[in-house]
Structure 1
Amino acid sequence: MAGADIDVVIRQTAKQQNKTLLAAIKARRDHFTGLAAKAKDATSKERYKQAAKDVVEQGAAAMRRLQVSADNAADSFARSMRMASDAFAAKAAAEAAKAPAEKAPKPAKKAAKASVKAKKAAKGKKK
């Protein structure tokens, strides 16, 4: 997993947490359903059934929030890595464009040195 992208790891972790949360929701729902089955009077039975429905509803909302939060974090991370990569590429391109501009004066210096050498050689021939 060392070479895996972190945004993928974030999504996988959220998926595992959602599975765990779903299992806990089902267990709690079953608990209240069992209490409803054992209830002696109708009001208690209805109250436990409603509690079971509420557990499922609130648990599903928590799962959605967890998933949305994980998706946002993964998307944000992926976007920031993409922007950092683009910035690095732009910086490298700017340096590459700057490098030929710096190399252009060097041939002029070489030409100047060549003309100095030619003048020295001409002086040497005159003597």
Structure 2
Amino acid sequence: MRELIGHFPKSLITAAIIDKKGKIISISSGNVYPPEKCTDPTAHSEVDAIRKACKKIKSCSLKGHWLYSTFEPCPLCSSAAVWAGVDGIVYSNNPKYRGKEDNWSFIPCQEIIKRSQYLNKTKLHKDFLIDETKHFFLE
């Protein structure tokens, strides 16, 4: 997580897929900021990290891998992680510390995971190292 946090302030949200041994398989800072330059509204950091990892391991299953993100994954990213079959999601910052960012419609990651348990028994660790990331959107 600290490696991802190190991408700030260049990137507000950075995500990675980590294997069982703790090795980073893929890392992404996404392509949706600034919005006026965005050409793919699904190119969030988490989705991009999932795509890169699947391509690298030549499989759409990320069983045995974890998604790490510096911010709570949105419903799109949480759903993509569940569909990819990650063993778990670890995130740091959360919408409470969104600051002046737009208040997008937000369904918590925990809710997506809870409602998806028939697909995958995804584990969740939230607010991990939050004291190191809660200032990201407040500056």
For the criterion TM > 0.5, the same-fold answer is no
Normalised TM-score (structure 2): 0.23
User: Considering only CA atoms, is the larger Rg found in Structure 1 or Structure 2?
Assistant: 1
- Between the two structures, name the one with larger relative contact order (CA 8 Å, sep ≥ 6): 1
Q: Where is the strand percentage greater, Structure 1 or Structure 2?
A: 2
Q: Where is the helix percentage greater, Structure 1 or Structure 2?
A: 1
